[in-house]
């Protein structure tokens, strides 16, 4: 039982791997011993993330650009990842976006974009990588959900985001049921709000509405949590390494919350 958290010899694909949380997760998986391929749509962002992870770890990291909502792109991503890193056994879905609008005025085109980016893409990657994992008799799928898959916000704005994250939770459970017989675990993590590129505009607006600076807004958000601070992207790393590692081989269909205690009191 000495290698419970060791990913040496394993290869992982992190979709959204140039994003705020995804890049931290990619780096954490590299540090745990895995060979990592990151993916998202913008090649320039991927190149920057690869260089930063390499500078931080001294390890080679690979990338393949593509749109995770597009099945043909995801087929290409899998082929490219195997060509660069060998047999893949870990898939992290860290893609998505967040747009806040009051339900009464929600732009349905934006709602549909959120469904496609935040849930359809998770299904597409799980379908394509699931076949590869089934062939290999082993695999780990880790989906980025959110505390907003479990608890709504008091104020308006989160109809799209909450709906898609609730869907991620149920997709995770159903896939766990279908893929378990092939030796594949499927779990999700539900972080609390974290300062990443996805949240910059949202934080600005909320701070403006509250008449405080962004720094003050973030400080107040953290102060309301049992752990008394805001989340950082690194707060998700330990949970994801656990879900990627042999330590979690009998854990499937679960949503784990590295959320500073929000769901305990929410
Ligand atoms: N930040 C938070 O407060 C928070 C809290 C809980 C959960 N989460 C979840 O954590 C995940 C990562 O969020 P983040 O805060 O790190 O966001 P982020 O910094 O905006 O990163 C999102 C990443 O997803 C990629 N992406 C978006 N659509 C894509 C698509 N169709 N195909 C491939 N890649 C795509 C983006 O790159 P391109 O645009 O180049 O494709 C980007 O690399 C999301 O699922 C989010 O919902 C975030």
Q: For 67-106, what is each residue's pLDDT tens digit? A: 999 999 999 999 999 999 999 999 999 999 999 999 999 9
Tokens 């085109």 -> residue: 109
| pTM listed for this prediction | 0.97
Pair 88, 138 in one domain: yes
Cα 137 to ligand 1 centre (Å): 29
User: Among 161, 179, 242, 257, which one carries the catalytic annotation?
Assistant: 161
In a domain, 266, yes or no: no
For residue 47 and ligand 1, the question of a CB distance below 6 A is answered with no
For residue 142 and ligand 1, the question of a CB distance below 6 A is answered with no
C-beta of residue 234 within 8 angstroms of C-beta of residue 240: no
Q: Band of the pLDDT at 240, cuts 50, 70, 90? A: very high
Q: Work out which ligand 1 atom sits closest to the CA atom of 194.
A: 3
Q: What's the total number of domains in the chain?
A: 2
For residue 130 and ligand 1, the question of a CB distance below 6 A is answered with no
Pair 152, 170 in one domain: yes
Residue 161: active-site member: yes
For residue 184 and ligand 1, the question of a CB distance below 6 A is answered with no
C-beta of residue 67 within 8 angstroms of C-beta of residue 94: no
Domain boundaries, position 88: 11-193+233-258
Pair 40, 81 in one domain: yes
Pair 18, 98 in one domain: yes
In a domain, 1, yes or no: no
**23-73 pLDDT tens trace:** 999 999 999 999 999 999 999 999 999 999 999 999 999 999 999 999 999
Between β-strands 255-256 and 90-93, what pairing exists: parallel, antiparallel or unpaired? unpaired
Pair 149, 26 in one domain: yes
Pair 38, 160 in one domain: yes
Whole-angstrom Cα distance, residue 255 to residue 129? 20
Q: Band of the pLDDT at 169, cuts 50, 70, 90? A: very high
Pair 82, 206 in one domain: no
């Amino acid at each position: 039982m000495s290698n419970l958290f060791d990913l040496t010899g394993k290869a992982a694909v992190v979709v959204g791997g140039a994003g705020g949380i995804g890049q931290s997760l990619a780096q954490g998986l590299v540090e745990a011993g895995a060979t990592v391929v990151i993916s998202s749509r913008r090649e320039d962002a991927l190149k920057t993330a690869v260089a930063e992870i390499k500078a931080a770890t001294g390890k080679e990291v690979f990338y393949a650009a593509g749109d995770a909502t597009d099945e043909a792109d995801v087929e290409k991503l899998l082929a490219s990842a195997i060509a660069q890193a060998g047999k893949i056994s870990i898939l992290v879905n860290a893609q998505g976006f967040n747009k806040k609008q009051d339900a009464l005025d929600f732009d349905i085109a934006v709602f549909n974009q959120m469904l496609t980016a935040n849930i359809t893409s998770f299904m597409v990657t799980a379908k394509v990588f699931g076949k590869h994992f089934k062939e290999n008799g082993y695999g780990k799928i880790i989906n980025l959900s959110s505390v907003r898959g479990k608890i709504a916000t008091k104020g308006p704005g989160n109809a799209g985001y909450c709906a898609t994250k609730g869907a991620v939770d149920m997709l995770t459970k159903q896939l766990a049921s279908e893929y378990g017989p092939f030796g594949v675990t499927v779990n999700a993590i539900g972080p609390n709000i974290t300062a990443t590129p996805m949240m910059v505009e949202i934080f600005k607006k909320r701070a403006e509405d509250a008449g405080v600076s962004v720094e003050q807004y973030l400080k107040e958000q953290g102060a309301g949590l049992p752990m008394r601070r805001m989340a950082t992207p690194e707060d998700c790393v330990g949970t994801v390494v656990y879900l990627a590692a042999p330590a979690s081989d009998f854990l499937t269909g679960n949503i784990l919350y590295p959320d500073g205690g929000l769901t305990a009191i929410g």
